[in-house]
């Protein structure tokens, strides 16, 4: 369950991109934010690179999403997204892709402080996002996430997908992505 939760948070920010320019990607980031503002959490999986589901079944990821976002313990909110840069286009093995670095503001509010300790969450969040990127205000953790997203398109498929690049998922990605992709993603 812990691995599924980690995988969920890594793919939480994964989304479909049907354009390759930075300006078009920003517009699609707005659409992605709309999914989360409307609290239609499972729709994010429609936008995730489908080969991921060969490793973690989609229905299991849906369960993690629903239990996380419909939890009486936490409330998540997402703020501004800012694209930092977009890489060159790579092509290999029937796949084209590029990487996009972006920043996103998030807030995680603990609703039941009797069941969950804020102090217990600070360490793991700072380890994941960086000491300087996590602050506490009352029962809310404010997070500035520096993210890296792979924008992918399979040959013969017009749809482009997103896959979040996270260090803790490097080994898992080797199960459904090429060695070349993984090397480029983590350089």
Pairing of strands 90-92, 134-137: unpaired
pLDDT tens per residue, range 4-56: 444 444 444 444 333 345 555 555 566 666 777 787 777 888 888 999 999 99
* Position 101 pLDDT exceeds 80: yes
The pLDDT value given to residue 16: 39
Q: Tokens 């300790």, residue?
A: 117
Crossing angle for the helix pair 58-69 and 2-11, to the nearest 10 degrees? 90
Report residue 170's pLDDT band, with 50, 70 and 90 as the boundaries. very high
- Sequence spans of domains, the chain: 2-177
pLDDT tens per residue, range 117-139: 888 899 999 998 999 999 999 99
Task: Indicate the CATH number for domain 2-177.
Answer: 3.10.450
Q: Are 142 and 107 in contact (CB under 8 A)?
A: yes
pLDDT tens per residue, range 81-95: 788 988 888 999 899
């Amino acid at each position: 369950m812990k691995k599924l939760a980690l995988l969920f948070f890594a793919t939480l920010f994964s989304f479909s991109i049907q354009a390759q320019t930075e300006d078009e990607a920003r517009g699609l980031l707005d659409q992605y934010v709309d999914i989360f503002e409307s609290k239609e959490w499972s729709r994010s999986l429609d936008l995730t690179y489908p080969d991921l589901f060969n490793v973690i079944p989609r229905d299991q990821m849906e369960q993690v999403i629903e239990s996380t976002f419909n939890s009486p313990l936490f409330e998540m909110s997402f703020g501004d997204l800012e694209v930092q840069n977009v890489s060159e286009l790579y092509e290999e093995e029937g796949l084209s892709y590029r990487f996009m670095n972006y920043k996103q503001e998030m807030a995680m509010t603990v609703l039941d402080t009797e069941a969950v300790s804020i102090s217990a969450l600070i360490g793991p969040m700072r380890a994941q996002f960086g000491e300087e990127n996590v602050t506490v205000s009352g029962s809310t953790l404010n997070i500035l996430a520096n993210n890296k997203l792979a924008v992918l398109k399979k040959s013969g498929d017009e749809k482009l997908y997103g896959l979040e690049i996270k260090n803790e998922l490097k080994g898992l990605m080797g199960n459904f992505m090429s060695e070349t992709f993984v090397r480029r993603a983590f350089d």
